[in-house]
Amino acid sequence: MDSSNREHHIESKDSESLYRSGLRLFKGKKYQKAFPLFHEAAHKGDTAAQNIVGLMYEKGVGIEQNNQKEVEWYQKAAAQIISEARLQVRSGPPQTMRPVDSADHSKNYAATVRWYHGLAEKGNADVEENLAMLYECGCGVKKNFVEALQWHRKAANKHHAGAQYHVGIAYCYGRGVSKNFENGFIWFERAAAQGHADAQLEVGRMYAEGKGVKQNSTEAFKWYRKAAEQENVIAQYQVGRMYYHGEDIKKDLKKAFKWFEKSAGSGCDEAYHDLGGMYVRGEGVKPDMAKAQASWQKAAEKGHLESMEKLGSMYFDGFGVEKNYALAKTWWQQAAEGGHAGSLVNLGWLLYLTGNYQESIEWSQKAAAKKEGLGQANLALVLLISGDIAASEREYQVLKNQYGSKNEWIKSAKSDLAEYIAQKGQYATAAKKILRKYFA
């Protein structure tokens, strides 16, 4: 292949293929042939290729040593690794974090991280904080919370607000250190005083819950409000919630609606859910069933189980929408599969009403397993109607033992049995015996 064709061949490959081809040559110690492939992949943005190009320039392997080029490529690789780390190190309760290119264990960034370590040791707070995040999420290095905390502390002691926040996270969630809410609060407060929005949210949360500091709703509202004004979505929701409930501030439904709307506008599913309820009840806004349905729909599409249940109920009852059992089943089943107890009960009942007794039994059993009394009552009734009298009686016995004689689920069970008897169902005689034995 002549040189022009070879160049065209290189250009036509994607960065992954170029990197793989270069790696095979590199492992075969064909460094000069490997370099142009790595170099092209690096120009296409492949982080691992940028790492190895930096290393080859540093060591003079396959290319003439060049310290300026070494730094240039290490900087590019580091920027991408740090960017990935920033995406993964999130506010609030720590999320599960995956290493960069976790599906590809043949790639590593050791040379870049070693180079970046050297920068951090010179004492720059931003570099120290970036290195801490690499260790925290396992980006380019083995995940190590103790090492991460060490670098967070170095930057935090230089008044780096982001680092102070992450030291607070470490103490509150036991990342590299024993849990200590008091110490967590101290570090959050330092970062919050510098205007760090996520830290302000955490200070508000800790005042609200009385963790690491004496409970104080007034202080909680103050810090939530500071974070909310910096567009922190969770803080906006919390401000709305406090206005809605009047927690040590004057209840104001219009302000609650405004803050829920702001939070929802940034994608908060809880805010969408609460907006739906306010539209139904006409709280802080004119009643609007179409907007209620739309709000719950948006929350449900984000996985909010309560909103799925609300949508199912709307379609089941024809409340603000046209009655539609198929859509009711769809939403209740999604919520039930997510573990929502009320939807397990509702789905079991809907399937009973539509004559799907076996499915009804299966879902009602799941509801009963969650100690849902109405689900237990539904299960007993459907077993009776399907002809399994012995199993039905056992479930009624469980219901009676768990809830006594005056509980609302007992009253519901009695009412359903009486209605079935009045309709002269196939097993009405058995129903009468159960009614006398357990609910007389």
Q: Give me the number of domains the chain comprises.
A: 2
Q: Are 316 and 350 in contact (CB under 8 A)?
A: yes
57 lies in a domain? yes
pLDDT score at 137 = 80
**Structural element, H or E, at residue 237:** helix 233-245
Walking along the chain (440 residues) 10 residues at a time, the average pLDDT comes out as 43 77 89 91 87 86 89 82 67 37 48 83 88 84 92 96 96 96 98 97 97 96 97 97 93 97 96 98 97 97 97 96 96 96 95 94 93 90 93 91 80 90 92 89
228 lies in a domain? no
| One-letter amino acid for residue 72 of the chain | E
pTM for the model stands at 0.79
pLDDT score at 242 = 97
User: How far is residue 233's CA from residue 408's CA, in Å, rounded to a whole number?
Assistant: 39
344 lies in a domain? no
198 lies in a domain? no
pLDDT score at 270 = 97
401 lies in a domain? yes
pLDDT score at 87 = 64
Among 179, 194, 211, residue at a domain's last position: 179
402 lies in a domain? yes
pLDDT score at 384 = 93
430 lies in a domain? yes
pLDDT score at 211 = 96
Contacts of 240 (CB under 8 A, 6+ apart): 255, 256, 257, 258, 259, 260, 262, 263, 271, 274
User: How far is residue 44's CA from residue 116's CA, in Å, rounded to a whole number?
Assistant: 22
129 lies in a domain? yes
Among 179, 205, 225, residue at a domain's last position: 179
Among 113, 146, 179, residue at a domain's last position: 179
Written as six digits, the tokens of 407 are 């509980």
Q: Are 110 and 134 in contact (CB under 8 A)?
A: no
Domain boundaries, position 404: 363-440
Secondary structure (H, E, C), 330-390:
HHHHHHHHCCCHHHHHHHHHHHHHCCCHHHHHHHHHHHHHCCCHHHHHHHHHHHHHCCCHH
pLDDT score at 228 = 98
pLDDT score at 88 = 64
pLDDT score at 440 = 75
Place of tokens 């030291």: 167
